[in-house]
Amino acid sequence: MSGVDNGVNVQALLDAREVLKGAPEAAQFVWRATSKWEKGVHSTTTIQKYFGLGQEQSHKTRAEFSADHPEVFAAEDNGITPIEYLLVGLASCLTAGVASVAQNRGIQLRSVSSTVEGSHDIRGILGADSDVRNGFNDIKVTFNIDADASKEDIQALVAQSQKRSAVFDALTNPTDVTVEVA
Amino acid sequence: MLERGEIANSWRHERWDSLRLLTPNWLNRLPGHSYQGPDPDGYLTMGEVVEFIEHFAVASAAPVRTGTNVESLRRDGDGYLVSTSRGDLRCRAVVLASGACNVPTVPAISAGVPTSVAQLTPFDYRGPDHVAEGGVLVVGASATGVQLAAELQRAGRQVILAAGEHVRMPRVYRGRDVLWWMDASGVWDQRYDEVDDLTRARRLPSPQLVGTPERSTLDLNALTGLGVELVGRLAAVRDGSALFSGGLRNVCSLADLKMRRLLAGFDEWARTTGRDAEVGPPEEFAPTTVAASTRLRLDLRGGDVGTIVWATGFRPDYRWLDVPVVDEKGRLRHEGGVLDSPGLYALGLPLLRRRRSTFISGVEDDARAVVDHLAKHLPASAG
């Protein structure tokens, strides 16, 4: 395992796992985003602060995300479609998982790329057919991984990455969502 | 030895009718007592298990007090006070051998199931004839879940099986029972202090095995072949509908990969120990087939399903144990069967000291180790 460096500090993660086993309250995180309507279906969402390890935390920089609809939806396309942000989340979460698991298993990665495709029948959101759901019908992720490992070990990396993925879980299992007017 | 009911009580009263042991007869070794019948490769029925244990009780002259329910156990001076339905006992040491499967685990989401749907645990289930009309949702794909799903589907019920993470195994590999490989290759002798993640290993679901005269494999592909519909893990019950995870494909991939790794380990063992000649050639098994699109939602009020069977595991019941040795998840804290309370011990828990600890052949070595420790404790506590 010596010399393998995917840039993931696995030891810190393993240490955190041990510490948090005995301190479940410190493991409670709240991730936050604030969003502002611009015009039309264009909005800007800002993320900087979150709560975790028992206190307020902050990213190094504030991140801004524009969301809009494309011109084929008769909008101005000032940013990607909200549902595409789910693809961003899924791809980046699974990729992070692949790198972490590879580091933990002593597998040197040379390149990892993936393509994520979400099939979406927009008759749902348009209200054109009440039998069609609003969200994705299915999502397909295809990884291309070049690493010092057998095909089977690479498959195991990708499987383990899904098993420990926050976004994979959030997309494949129902989540209780409350939306209120303040 | 205190027994709340009769000898082999849980085998008599807490098992379904068709169940047979998962271990082949030749592997059911107890000290000085092994299977002597005509079918060493077969699997005992529940009636035969009861007989086997009754015979051992006689052969070993075990001082069993039946019909004696332990109501509490607490420290008392340098020993323990055991309150039973037949009076109190004082003792210097106690071995807890009450098992890991006292109560079926039923998830909290069961509270949301409409009252029109009957709910059963493996303790309630006897056979298909006692299950209400209609389809059945079986939740859980360990040995219990796959066996009940197969039995109900064969009885003409439409079964939907919700599968989370599971342990896939062929019944027979290269001509030998898969548990022969576990035994012979030393996997079952792996010690608790050699296992990478002991907590996870102790919580592993039972493998998808069944004991049948045909020695057939009962993995998810076999169930699909019978007509069982596979769905993902049951994630929630909301507004009268069961909602299933969309992650079935990955839990199947994980199980396939782990099975292949296990079998490759057996191959490696056979090759390096010169045992290749006594077994058949290496075999490959098709990956688990998952439908292109699995059901994510089942309307429990729609009439397709009349019963839910919760094959979601079991847990021990230590409500009678008034000694602080139970963790926040209700499991005993112990070091290879030695509890953090002088003179208190455990036997017969998952991976107590070895991977074989919960199988009949696992108790002998565990008991020796625990009794060695206990024997050293007794003089120290004497006086």
- The average confidence (pLDDT) of chain B is 96
Å from B335 to nearest chain A CA? 18
Question: Residue A7 pLDDT more than 90?
Answer: yes
Name the pLDDT band for B196 (thresholds 50, 70, 90).
Answer: confident
Neighbours of A141 (CB within 10 A): 17
Q: Where are the domains of chain A?
A: 81-173
Kindly state the percentage of chain A with pLDDT values over 90. Answer: 95
- The average confidence (pLDDT) of chain A is 95
Q: What number is the average pLDDT over the span B22-47?
A: 94
Q: Any CB–CB contact under 8 A between B132 and chain A?
A: no
Task: For B277-302, give one letter per residue: b (16+ CB within 10 A) or e.
Answer: eebeeeeebeebebeeebbbebebee
Name the pLDDT band for B194 (thresholds 50, 70, 90).
Answer: very high
Q: Any CB–CB contact under 8 A between B253 and chain A?
A: yes
pLDDT at position A2 is 61
pLDDT at position B160 is 98
Question: Within the 260-279 window of chain B, which residues sit less than 8 Å (CB to CB) from chain A?
Answer: 260
pLDDT at position B80 is 97
Q: What angle do CA B89, B93, B96 make, to 5 degrees?
A: 90
Q: What number is the average pLDDT over the span A162-176?
A: 96
What's the complex ipTM?
0.88
Q: What number is the average pLDDT over the span B86-111?
A: 96
pLDDT at position A22 is 86
Answer for the pair B127, B151: CB distance below 8 angstroms, yes or no: yes
| Per-residue model confidence as pLDDT tens digits over B302-358 | 999 999 999 999 999 999 999 999 998 899 999 999 999 999 999 999 999 999 999
From the number of C-beta atoms within 10 Å of its C-beta (0-12, 13-18, 19+), residue B75 rates as middle
Question: Residue B383 pLDDT more than 80?
Answer: no
Q: What number is the average pLDDT over the span B96-113?
A: 96
| Per-residue model confidence as pLDDT tens digits over B67-83 | 999 999 999 999 999 99
| 3-class secondary structure, B314 | strand
Name the pLDDT band for B295 (thresholds 50, 70, 90).
Answer: very high
pLDDT at position B380 is 74
Cross-chain Cβ contact B257/A156 below 8 Å = yes
Which of chain B's residues have a Cβ under 8 Å away from the Cβ of A173? 233, 235-236, 243, 245-247
Question: Residue A1 pLDDT more than 60?
Answer: no
β-pair partners for B88: B83
CATH superfamily assigned to domain A81-173: K homology (KH) domain (3.30.300.20)
The maximal CA–CA distance of chain A, rounded, in angstroms, is 58
Q: What number is the average pLDDT over the span A135-161?
A: 97
Cross-chain Cβ contact A163/B238 below 8 Å = no
CATH superfamily assigned to domain B9-102+315-381: FAD/NAD(P)-binding domain (3.50.50.60)
Kindly state the percentage of chain B with pLDDT values over 90. Answer: 96
Question: Residue B66 pLDDT more than 90?
Answer: yes
Answer for the pair A143, A158: CB distance below 8 angstroms, yes or no: yes
Chain B residue closest in CA terms to A22 = B328
Pick B380 or B181 by higher pLDDT.
B181
Neighbours of B77 (CB within 10 A): 9
**A–B: how many Cβ contacts below 8 A?**
36
Q: What number is the average pLDDT over the span B2-7?
A: 97
| Per-residue model confidence as pLDDT tens digits over A119-138 | 999 999 999 999 999 999 99
Question: Residue A56 pLDDT more than 60?
Answer: yes
Name the pLDDT band for A3 (thresholds 50, 70, 90).
Answer: confident
| Per-residue model confidence as pLDDT tens digits over A10-42 | 999 999 998 998 899 999 999 999 999 999 999
Which of chain A's residues have a Cβ under 8 Å away from the Cβ of B257? 152, 155-156, 159
| Per-residue model confidence as pLDDT tens digits over B247-283 | 999 999 999 999 999 999 999 999 999 999 999 999 9
**Whole-number Å distance between alpha carbons of B97 and B99:** 6
Torsion of CA B262, A114, B243, B19, to 10 degrees: -10
Which of chain A's residues have a Cβ under 8 Å away from the Cβ of B254? 159-160, 163
Backbone φ and ψ for B54, nearest 5 degrees, come out as -60, -45
Q: Where are the domains of chain B?
A: 9-102+315-381, 104-313
Cβ partners under 8 Å of residue B239, min gap 6: none
| Tokens 């009268």, located at residue | B240
Answer for the pair A103, A89: CB distance below 8 angstroms, yes or no: no
pLDDT at position B382 is 62
Question: Within the 210-239 window of chain B, which residues sit less than 8 Å (CB to CB) from chain A?
Answer: 232-233, 235-236, 238
pLDDT at position B107 is 97
